[in-house]
A and B are shown apart, each in its own frame.
Chain A
């Protein structure tokens, strides 16, 4: 007699629809184009505003301890649930979390499916978990998207029951980021749906990072075993200080419990940065068709950061478009959208941000449509985006027009990564035209055109898909004389070949060797242990021609 304990599978729910939610690239992703400064950085692809406020930079053994508070202004993305699409705020309203600043953190969209199986005369239910991708937000706030194909699967289904994968469970996976950052993510999934994650950099540094939260425990270990560790109490240690914290972060991030960043000052006393919060009524009010508004909800937003010397940064937020009555117990002046409206620097200077275009300044993927950035002192910068092809999201192409305080125009064409199977959501500049004054052929000072991955046709408006293996940057003078820099990258985003071509190259086809003036080739040693960035030989440089002007 042969018993088959997994006798019958009864019913299965398969939720096959994987609806793409809006995602945005934050931080300063590889191959991106940025402007702004000196305090803030503007991503010219999606107009994300990135800020960094230094707290502590301390020399260490092997690894210095660097701790900067970072902020990214694209705080809204769309998510879809049961046929309803709504706005979802970024973690910490754009501010990097306490542990993230040292290690980064992983956001993993776990999918769960409940099954049942007839087992030992009982119908039992269980859950099978699937992870198709993850987003690693690094310590600078940059997002790195990873895709698991086939997905990571683990759960409570025994062999023979519904939900048990035909090839068995795959509870862990290591994937190299497609964005050229050289990061490798390793995830492990338990039958109960818990996830652990670690990252390795192309220099071999290992980071055990929190999952689902930007705080909590984490470690960074370099190739020599030097460590930075963060415990669950918010204490940071480096290799030189295993008992006395280098930095201690406390507070719950509310008006009543501001976040304190404490360290030992050179004087031996305690120095402290304090991140203060204001309770706001947050309501989006963007009016994007098909997207349900967020709020009204009471949320604590960062109102200011006080430095050890008593000076401070102050932050205000955009007023909610339309009518909105603030909730009791929140700032009563107005409701806010959560998008940053101004920063006042410790020196007294200010930067204000006003949003325009699109639908109240936003597109359906959460990217900014138009931004007026006023520096005082410094003048007004205007950035406006318009869609060239596609719809906001992967594969779309755009122009961003920048007007400087002296009314000089720069027009930039950019393409959002068109890789839909492993999207990075990064933008790639394809053309830049710099004008003295307004947009006019007679005012054109210079043009640069970027081709990617050996596609030489219509590069200015062509779609671009990651991974980036090659860039060809054509620099064109007003008289159409053109030179070229061609760079090849390996899968870790490292330069393997750099070719410089003299004026005389033509667009639309691969360059020949006629105008090649210099080539630098680099190969990398295969050392294992995720150490991939050590050149194996001295760069081989060949100068073909002296350039004489």
Chain B
């Protein structure tokens, strides 16, 4: 009897071990394009100047056009690691807040309108970079789950850029192997001369429809070295061609030890 139990235990152990090995081998995403990896690495170097950045706080002024009428106010952009971010816009009509948080392991998001009304991001809107306003903490940074593709050199708004595309690969517990997550696709446009990011494009989606794409673009310009880091002091985020967030950065602070509580979703 004891032998039978041991055998069953051994069989279970072997099954798990083989299964784990199988799943591990099955769940390897394809390799990134070396040219894309090289450009991404150079871009990170151009941004951070060799400085290891763990968190960032950007402050400045903002024009918010996502409400009933355009408003101006102050903006605070916080990020910790690659998965935590918070945008707070202090406006005459109230505070607009957008939070991305993956401290639990799952990417989540929350928006709080000026009126106080709030809601969670739909899951399909949590697949792209949480730190959309500071690319050094985005998909350009090395990651085992992010695959980079090199699209080529292009002209964008009259300037030469290197075009890199990133997307996440997700494991599949049904054993079908990893699958590309189209909802995570992002396009990075790096200045061909400096390799500093000039624009990032991706799609957001209606809350009830992951199949519909709403093109979103973040433009970075007016880079200045603040506290040893190249910071885009002009950041514009547009939805379907309409600039909703227009931020002028006046202060940048790095590695101040931002607590995770800053990014808590309630």
Residues of A within 8 A of B (CB): 1, 3, 5, 10-13, 15, 17-21, 79-84, 86-88, 107-117, 119-127, 132, 156-158, 161, 191-193, 212, 283, 289-290, 292-297
Contact = CB atoms under 8 A, between A and B. Distances in A.
A19 B111 CA distance: 15
Contacts of B113: 83
Contacts of A110: 209-211
B130 interface: no
A120 B106 contact: no
Contacts of A212: 211
B208 A295 contact: no
A191 B16 CA distance: 23
Contacts, number: 166
A112 B124 contact: yes
Nearest to B205: A81
Given A112-B123, A123-B105, A191-B172, A86 B240 contact: yes
A289 B68 contact: yes
Contacts of A81: 122, 125, 204-207, 214
A84 B98 CA distance: 12
A84 B68 CA distance: 11
Contacts of B8: 1
A94 B215 CA distance: 19
Contacts of B105: 10-11, 116, 123, 125
Interface stretch (B30-38, B173-181, B189-197): B173-181
Given A125-B171, A191-B172, A292 B242 contact: yes
A84 B212 contact: no
Nearest to B24: A122
A292 to B, nearest CB: 6
A97 B9 CA distance: 59
B105 to A, nearest CB: 6
Contacts of A21: 206, 208-209
27 contacts: A1-B12, A3-B12, A5-B16, A13-B120, A15-B121, A19-B207, A19-B208, A21-B209, A79-B206, A80-B208, A81-B205, A82-B98, A84-B239, A110-B210, A111-B123, A119-B173, A120-B20, A120-B23, A122-B20, A125-B105, A125-B170, A158-B173, A192-B176, A292-B244, A293-B242, A295-B240, A297-B241
B117 A83 contact: yes
A368 to B, nearest CB: 21
A114 B107 contact: yes
Given A21-B206, A81-B214, A124-B171, A297 B104 contact: no
A18 B126 CA distance: 17
B244 A108 contact: no
Contacts of A117: 173
B108 interface: yes
B204 A1 contact: no
Nearest to A3: B12
Contacts of A293: 242
B135 interface: no
B173 A17 contact: no
Contacts of A132: 208
A116 B124 CA distance: 15
Contact of A296 (B122, B176, B215, B241): B241
Interface of B: 5, 8-9, 12, 16, 19-20, 23, 65-66, 68, 98, 104-109, 111, 113, 117-127, 170-174, 176, 179, 181, 183, 204-212, 214-215, 239-242, 244
A279 to B, nearest CB: 14
A114 B66 contact: no
Nearest to B170: A125
Nearest to A327: B241
A113 B240 contact: no
A394 to B, nearest CB: 15
Given A127-B123, A292-B66, 6 more contacts: A1-B8, A81-B214, A191-B172, A192-B179, A289-B68, A290-B68
Contact of A126 (B173, B183, B204, B244): B173
A132 B211 CA distance: 13
A120 B173 CA distance: 11
A11 B211 contact: no
Contacts of B108: 13
B183 A79 contact: no
B110 to A, nearest CB: 9
A82 B125 contact: yes
B14 to A, nearest CB: 12
A43 B106 CA distance: 47
B210 A112 contact: yes
A15 B120 contact: yes
A452 B240 CA distance: 41
B106 A125 contact: yes
A193 B119 CA distance: 25
Contacts of B214: 79, 81, 86, 88
A15 B170 contact: no
Contacts of A115: 106
B238 to A, nearest CB: 9
Contacts of B211: 107-110, 212
Nearest to A5: B16
Given A84-B244, A114-B126, A295-B241, A109 B120 contact: no
Contact of A83 (B68, B119, B240): B119
A536 B108 CA distance: 57
B120 A112 contact: no
B209 A294 contact: no
Nearest to A6: B173
B19 A80 contact: no
Nearest to A132: B208
B207 A17 contact: yes
